[in-house]
Structure 1
Amino acid sequence: MKKIILVVLLLLISICTFEKVSAHSLQSTEDRSEAVEYRELSIRQAIKLAYSSALKWNKNAQLLSAINIDLDKKSRKTIGDNGKRKHWNISFGVPDTNKFFLVTIHNGKIDKINDLTNEDDSPYAKKEFIQIKDIKYDSPDLLKKALKIRNIYPGKDWAKGYNFMLIKNTKKNINLILVIGWNSEQTKMKEVGFNAETGEYIPPQN
């Protein structure tokens, strides 16, 4: 799972990179007005909110990944302790093309939508995509399960609180939801993975 941890580290800070490529920004006031009223979103709520923008971008858009962004200021005892976060990056693509689209959610509302297609990138294979109908478990319930399975603690300085990520494990053909925290010393990130369709615990790979 070391590779997954590296991906987590990159994605948690990815908002800085994506904001630098805003030349392709397709920000829409219409999407802002359609945003739901609540500020903290579960991973399924964030994906549902972002999906309509992706379909407007391309009718064949499919989900690639979802991860919360580490922008929260401490507004509750522990950030993410209810399985929800305010800030998310939800990424989409089009199978067998290199088309890539990012929806950034801030404070529970769509803040930016960006076509980040890079013509030099390889096409995304069909096996890399996640079917939204197959995401049957959500971050609040999976956080509760994770805390019973492993001793993970909320981050204090960065990757604060509990973090959540949805990716595709192409080797096992599993939609994987990760609940991410730290060890008690705050020196090492720890994750607990679950099959998003069955809720089954997926042990870390060495």
Structure 2
Amino acid sequence: MGQTDITNPIQDRTELSLKQAIELAYPSALKWNKNAQLLDAINIDLDKPGKSIGSNGKRKHWNISFGVPDTNKFFLVTIHNGEIDKINDLTNKGDSPYPKKEFIKLKDINYDSPQLLKKALKMDSIYPGKDWAKGYNFRLSKDPETNITLMLVIGWNSDQTKMKAAGFNVKTGEYIPPQV
């Protein structure tokens, strides 16, 4: 028999969870520098307006940032439609070194964007953005003061006048009110 017809296989490959995007980007960072570690990750708002952007906890477009601890070395991996689109060494001579405590260990990410979006929707009235910051958005970063790796699930209030976010510890899944 010939090729099998699978309905809409493209959506599955182009949309990535936050952790999938990091896993896709990591090999490029390690090729750039064998000591590269994850600094943060955020989806990029390039989608055309639509109803379900990010509603499955996945996005098509991501920026994943890496650095080398105790240096000012900085590397950015940009993902478009589920594939690496650009890799850039953005190290600037005048930048301060990144302390070890700012880096995120992949093994500490026990909760991914699809799981945490579900939690956020159950506990708070977060709605998808329509025009700017469309759909649901996701950001991963480490708070160097608390040493907690935090994922923000970002959306809007019901009348689209104010952005809202729910924060979660990605190691424990615990809700942490975002500091605004």
Per the normalisation by structure 1, the TM-score is 0.80
Task: Give me the whole-angstrom Cα distance separating, in 1, the residues matched to 2:128 and 2:146.
Answer: 29
**Residue 31 of structure 2 corresponds to which residue in structure 1?**
56
Secondary structure of the corresponding residue to residue 96 of structure 1: coil
Q: Report the alpha carbon displacement of residue 205 of structure 1 after superposing the two structures with TM.
A: 3.5
Q: Deviations over 1:126-150 (max 9, x none)?
A: 0110011111110001000000111
> Which secondary structure state, in structure 2, belongs to the residue aligned with residue 38 of structure 1?
helix
Residue of structure 2 equivalent to 1:130: 104
Quick one: which amino acid aligns to residue 181 of structure 1?
A: G
Partner of 1:81: 55
Q: Hey, what does 2:166 align to over in structure 1? A: 192
User: What secondary structure does 1:92 align onto?
Assistant: strand
Say which structure is richer in helix.
1
SS at match of 2:97: coil
Match among 15, 19, 23 for residue 40 of structure 1: 15
Count of residues in correspondence between the two structures: 169
In 2, Cα distance between equivalents of 1:140 and 1:74: 20
What is the percent sequence identity of the aligned residues?
78
CA shift for structure 1 position 200: 0.6
Kindly provide the amino acid, as one letter, of the partner of residue 39 in structure 2.
L
Alignment equivalent of 1:107, drawn from 75, 81, 99: 81
Residue of structure 1 in register with 2:47 after alignment: 72
**Partner of residue 148, structure 1:** 122
Displacement of 1:60 in angstroms is 0.1
User: Displacement, 1:204?
Assistant: 3.0
For residues 54 and 68 of structure 2, the distance between their equivalents in structure 1, rounded to whole angstroms, comes to 31
Residue matched to 1:119: 93
Q: Bigger radius of gyration, 1 or 2?
A: 2
Instruction: Choose from 140, 156, 159 the match for 1:182.
Output: 156
Q: List alignment gaps of at least 5 residues for structure 1.
A: 1-36
Instruction: Indicate the residue corresponding to 1:25 in structure 2.
Output: none
Letter in 2 for 1:68: N
**4+ residue runs over 3 A deviation:** none
What does the per-residue CA deviation read over 1:28-81, in whole Å, with 9 as the maximum and x for residues that have no partner?
xxxxxxxxx810000000000000000000000000000000001245x32000
Q: Which amino acid aligns with 2:118?
A: K
Instruction: Give the aligned residue type for 2:55.
Output: D
SS state at 2:14 partner: coil
Match of 1:90 in 2: 64
TM-score by length of 2: 0.91
Distance in 1, matches of 2:48 and 2:119, equals: 25
Question: RMSD between aligned alpha carbons?
Answer: 1.1
Residue 97 of structure 1 deviates from its aligned partner by: 0.2
For structure 2, which runs of at least 5 residues remain unmatched after alignment? 1-11
Aligned to 2:144: 170
